Structure 1
Amino acid sequence: MKIFKIALVNPGPGEILSKGRIIANADHIYPPLGICYLSAVLKEENYQVEIIDQAARGFNLYQIVRWIKKKDPDILGFSTLTASGSGISAALTSIEVKKWNPNIKIVFGNRHTNHNDYRILEKYPQVDICVRDEGEYTFLALVKALERNQPLKDIKGITYRESGKFKRNEKRPLIKDLDSIPLPDRKALKMEYTGSFGGLEFAPKGFTSMVSSRGCPYHCTFCYGKRTVGFRTRSVENIVKEILHLESEGYKYLNFVDDNFTVSKKRVIKLCRLMHKHKVDLDWICEGRVNQVSKEMLKEMKRAKCRIIFYGIESANQRILDYYRKGITPAQSIAAVKKTRKAKIPFILGSFIVGAPGETLIEIYNTLKFAQKIDIDFPVYNLLGTMPGTDIWDEMVEKNILDENKYWEEGVHISDIDPGGVPTE
C-alpha cells in the first residue's frame, strides 16, 4: 500500500526581489504552532508528516522548492498570513512546485484564507483548496478524503474548485474542548529558536511559544482576531502539563502568544499558582490589556516567573482609542504600568499605533511623547495597517478610499491611502 505523505510549510514572510526570490525578513520569528498542531493531529492518525519553517531558516524560493521535491509529498500545505506577505511567498512556491508535479494537491490555510479564499483560488490556479478558520480537524478530514479519492462536498470549512466553479462549504464549528487537541509537534521543526521582539532579545536560546487560549472577546477595529475564532481557553491543568513537558525538553523561555492572555483574572491567577506549585522554572512573557490587570494578578504572575508583559497602549488620544474601539483610556495605561512596576515584573513593553484615518500631526506627537513619558522599558511603534477581515478595511472600502483588488494580498498602511491623514513620509 502506498504511503500517503504530507508536507507543511510556514512560508517566508518575504519581500519579492528583482529575481523573484523570496527571503525571510521578519523582525521576530516564533515557532509556527499552527503547522505543529496539524502535524500532531495527523501523526495520531499515523500519517507521514514533514514540516519546515521557511521563515526561520531563511530559505529562498529555490531552496524551499528543493526541500519540497526531496520530501515528494502527496499533499503540500502552507500556513499563510496577509500582513507578512507569506501568502504571496506560498503562491510563488506553489507555481514552481506545480511545474514539477502537476498532481500534487496544494492547500492554503491560516488567517489569509478566511477572507480571501475566492481571490486566492481565482488568481492562483496552482492552489487547489483553502482551509478556513481552525484547521486541525478540517485538514485531517481533507487528507482522509484526498487519500481515499472521495468527494469534498461534505468537508466543513474548506473552499475549492469543482467543474470550474468555486465551492465554499459550510463553516466548521469551533473546537470547544481545546484540551482535546494533542500538544503541538515542535520536534518536527528540527531547529531551535531565540526570542526577540522589536530588537530586544529576551531569550538567547531554549525559546518556544504556546497558546493557552484562542480568540479574543474584544472588538478592536484594526484586528481580525474577533472574526476568526470565538474566545475559548484550555484548562490550567492542561496548560501546566504542556509547560512541564517543555521544561523536560530543555526549554528555558516561553512566550504565550494568545490574542489576549489576561482576559480572565481568575484564570491567570489560578494558572500562575499552579505553575508555582509545580515549581515551574521557565521565564515567560505575555500580552495583556491595561484595564484587566490587578495587583493580585501581577503579584502571582511575578511569582510564577513572568519576565515581560506587553501592553497594547496604542495611543495617547482618547478620540483615537475610541475609533479603535479599544475600550481603554490613557489613564488606565498609566495605572497598569504603575501596578506592574510595583509587582516588580522585570520588563514592560508597550505597543503604540499612529496613522489612523484623519489622525493629525498633533495627535501623533501626543502619542510619541506619551510613549517616552510613560514608565515602560521599551516602546514598539507601528503604522496602522489594514487587511481583509478588519472593520477598518470594510470602512475604507465603503468610503471608496481602498481598492480591494490592489491590496488584498498584503494589506496596506492607512497613511498610504487616506487623503485626510498624515502621509507615511
Structure 2
Amino acid sequence: MKVLLVNPPVRKKMQPQEIPIGLGLIAAVAKQEGQQLSFLDLNVHRPSLQIAAQEIAIDDYDVIGIGGLSSQYQDIRNILPVCRQIHPDALIVAGGGFVTYMPDKMLRLRPEIDIIVIGEGEETWRDLLKAAPKKDFSGVKGIAYRNEEGKVIYTEPRPLIPDLDTLPYPAYDLMEIDTYAENYDLCYSEESLHSKRKLCIISERGCPRQCTFCTHNGASRWDMLVSVGKEKVLKLDEEYGFQQIARFTSAEYTLKHMQYLYEKYDCGYIYLTDENLTSNRKRTTELCNLMIENDTPSKIHWGTAGDTASVNDELISLMKKAGCTFISFGGESGSDKVLKYDIQKGTTRKNNQDCVDIMKRQGMEPVMTFMLGNPHEDVNDILETTDFFVKNNIACDPFICTPYPGTKLYLDYEQQILEQFDQRLAEVKKLPKGSIDNELIQQWKDNALDKFLGSLDDADVLSAHVSQVFNHHDLLGLKALMFAHDIPRILKVAHMRNWPHDKKWNEHCPDCSAKNEINELRKVNEALFTPTAATGESDQI
C-alpha cells in the first residue's frame, strides 16, 4: 500500500527544533511492514496550506496517518479536510495526545478521521496496516472507529509495550536532520550551546510523578486509567502483567542509540527528552557507568530532565562524569501548599532548594521551570515562588498552568474551561434543567472544545485557565512581575485587587509600609499636640 505520514507544525513561534520522534517510530514500523512510505514534515518547512495540499496530492495514497499533541490541533484541523478532499477513499488514521483522551469527541469534531489510535501507537499501527486491505478493524486492539451506522466502536484496549528495547529507532533517513540539528536551541550549558550538531531521543515513557497538569500521551498506567477506565486496566493487569507507570529502555539500548546518532549523523550533543530520567536512580546509575566504561564523554555530551526529590550529590557527580552538562527540573512552585494540594507532585520547596544547592556544589548551573495559575494558588503562593526566584537568583518566566486534555486539571475543570470559550454554557447552568435542548447544549460544548483545542500552544501562552482566584489579566500581569522579581509591585497589586496577604510580607509591601509610617507619624503628632483638660489647648511636650 501507499502510505503517507504527515507531521503537523509545532511551536511555530520558534524555528523547528525537535525531530518528530513519535511519527518517526511509526514510519519505522511502516518500513518494517514493507509499505510504500512517504513522509511529509510540515513542521520543518512550515509551508502554506496551499503548498501542503500540493504535496499531499503528489501520489494516490491508500492510508494517511497524522499524529500530534493537543497543542498541534490548530493546524491538524486545517490539514485533515485537505487530506480528505484530495484522497476521498484513503483510510485516515489519527494518533497522539490530541485524540487519545477523547476519541468519541474527536470523531465528532473531525469527521475526516476514520480511525483513532488510543495510546501507544507502534503495535496498533502495525496491526492496522495488516488489516487495511480487507478493511476489517474489529480485531485491532486499541482503536476507536465508526461502524457503517456511524456508531463509535471501541475495540479491546491494547496493553503497554512491556519491553521498549524491541522498538526500532525512528526513521531518521526520512527526516531533514540537518535543519533540525542546526535550529536546535539548547542554551543550558556551554557544551549544548556550541555543539556542532544536536538531536534528541526518548528513553522513558510515563513518569512516577503524577502531576495534575501533565499527561504522557497514553504511554503510562495513569493515562490508561483516563483513556480506557480502571476496570479495563485491571483486566489488562491480569492478562498481560501490571501496566507500568513508567518504563525505560535499557542502558545498553540507550547508549547504542546515542552512539548510532554520533557515528551516522556526527551528533555530538544529545538531549534525552525523558520526562524524569533521575526518578529511576538505579537505571540512571547503570546508564552513566556504561557511558564512562565506553568513554562516551570524550565524544558525546548530553542533557536531560529530572525531579528535585530524586537527586543527590553522588548521582549528579556521576552524571556529570558521564558527560551530562545540564538537567532541567520542574520546580513548579515555591509554595508547599500548591505543591501538595494543587500540583500533587510529591515534592516540596525544601526539595527544590536542596536541588539548587546540590547542582551548584557539583558545578552545574541549576535549570528549573515554574508556573502560576494553579486552581487554589493565591497571592501568598505567588509571593512564595517569587521569593524563591529572588533568593536563588533564578531568571524564570513562569508557565501558565494549562489544562491540556487528559490531565487531572482538565477532567476536574472541564466545564469552567469550556465556559471560557462559550458564555452560553455558563448562562444555561442558571436555568432549570431541560430549559434548553440537550442536543443544542452538546453542540455548544463541541464548538467550545474546538475553540479551546485551537487555542492551545506551549504553556507560556495563555489559553484557558483553571484558577479559582485570578482571571486572565491577573495571570498575565503576575507572570511579568514574577519574572522581574518585583515583590513590592505584586503586593501593591494585591492591595488594588483586595487580595489579602500574610503579615510576613508587610516589610516588602509599599502600601503596608506607607500606612505604618503614616500611623507612626500620626501617633507622634498626637503625642506632641495633646489638648489639656483645663484649657483645651495643646500641651506641647
Shared topology, TM-score over 0.5? Answer: yes
RMSD: 2.3
Shift of 1:107: 1.2
Q: Who is 1:247 aligned against?
A: 262
Matches within 5 A, 1:343-358: 343-345=362-364, 347-358=365-376
Provide the secondary structure at the position in 2 that maps to 1:313. strand
Distance, in Å, in 2 between the alignment partners of 1:186 and 1:332 is 39
Provide the secondary structure at the position in 1 that maps to 2:177. coil
User: Are the aligned partners of 1:415 and 1:421 in contact in 2 as well (CA < 8 Å)?
Assistant: no
Match of 1:342 among 361, 365, 371: 361
Q: Which deviations, in whole Å up to 9, do the C-alpha atoms of 1:136-185 show, x marking residues without a partner?
A: 01011111111x22411110011111111111112111000111111111
Shift of 1:410: 4.5
Provide the secondary structure at the position in 1 that maps to 2:93. strand
Amino acid at match of 2:410: W
Q: Who is 2:75 aligned against?
A: 89
Distance, in Å, in 2 between the alignment partners of 1:134 and 1:36 is 13
Q: Which deviations, in whole Å up to 9, do the C-alpha atoms of 1:271-321 show, x marking residues without a partner?
A: 011112112221211111000012121111101111111010011111111
Q: Who is 1:25 aligned against?
A: 13
Distance, in Å, in 2 between the alignment partners of 1:28 and 1:312 is 23
Q: Who is 2:251 aligned against?
A: 236
Q: Who is 1:195 aligned against?
A: 184
Shift of 1:36: 0.9
Q: Who is 2:423 aligned against?
A: none
Relative to 1, partners in 2 of residues 1:348 and 1:58: Cα closer, same or farther, differing over 3 Å? farther
Match of 1:317 among 307, 332, 335: 335
Relative to 1, partners in 2 of residues 1:386 and 1:183: Cα closer, same or farther, differing over 3 Å? same
Relative to 1, partners in 2 of residues 1:297 and 1:218: Cα closer, same or farther, differing over 3 Å? same
Amino acid at match of 1:228: D
Name the one with the larger helix percent.
2
Shift of 1:358: 3.2
Distance, in Å, in 2 between the alignment partners of 1:282 and 1:380 is 30
Distance, in Å, in 1 between the alignment partners of 2:147 and 2:464 is 40
Provide the secondary structure at the position in 2 that maps to 1:196. coil
Match of 2:275 among 250, 255, 259: 259
Relative to 1, partners in 2 of residues 1:256 and 1:372: Cα closer, same or farther, differing over 3 Å? farther
User: Are the aligned partners of 2:417 and 2:465 in contact in 1 as well (CA < 8 Å)?
Assistant: no
Distance, in Å, in 2 between the alignment partners of 1:331 and 1:28 is 37
Shift of 1:387: 2.1
Q: Who is 2:102 aligned against?
A: 116
Amino acid at match of 1:158: I
Match of 2:403 among 386, 389, 392: 386
TM-score normalized with structure 2 length: 0.71
Match of 1:209 among 186, 191, 200: 200
Relative to 1, partners in 2 of residues 1:402 and 1:99: Cα closer, same or farther, differing over 3 Å? closer
Relative to 1, partners in 2 of residues 1:357 and 1:402: Cα closer, same or farther, differing over 3 Å? farther
User: Are the aligned partners of 1:261 and 1:286 in contact in 2 as well (CA < 8 Å)?
Assistant: yes
Shift of 1:63: 2.5
Q: Who is 1:21 aligned against?
A: none
Query: What is the identity percentage for the equivalent residue pairs of Structure 1 and Structure 2?
Result: 27
Q: Who is 2:470 aligned against?
A: 421
Q: Who is 2:503 aligned against?
A: none
Q: Which deviations, in whole Å up to 9, do the C-alpha atoms of 1:173-199 show, x marking residues without a partner?
A: 100011111111122112322322699
Name the one with the larger strand percent.
1
Shift of 1:202: 2.8
Q: Who is 1:273 aligned against?
A: 289
Distance, in Å, in 2 between the alignment partners of 1:128 and 1:330 is 47
Instruction: Give unmatched runs, 5+ long, in structure 2.
Output: 225-244, 420-444, 457-461, 477-541
Relative to 1, partners in 2 of residues 1:305 and 1:299: Cα closer, same or farther, differing over 3 Å? same
TM-score normalized with structure 1 length: 0.89
User: Are the aligned partners of 2:372 and 2:475 in contact in 1 as well (CA < 8 Å)?
Assistant: no
Distance, in Å, in 2 between the alignment partners of 1:118 and 1:389 is 14
Provide the secondary structure at the position in 1 that maps to 2:270. strand
Larger radius of gyration: 2
Amino acid at match of 1:389: G
Amino acid at match of 2:26: L
Amino acid at match of 2:346: G
Shift of 1:204: 6.0
- Residue 11 in structure 1 maps to residue 8 in structure 2: yes
Relative to 1, partners in 2 of residues 1:165 and 1:207: Cα closer, same or farther, differing over 3 Å? same
Relative to 1, partners in 2 of residues 1:37 and 1:45: Cα closer, same or farther, differing over 3 Å? same
- Residue 155 in structure 1 maps to residue 206 in structure 2: no
Amino acid at match of 1:216: C
Distance, in Å, in 2 between the alignment partners of 1:99 and 1:260 is 42
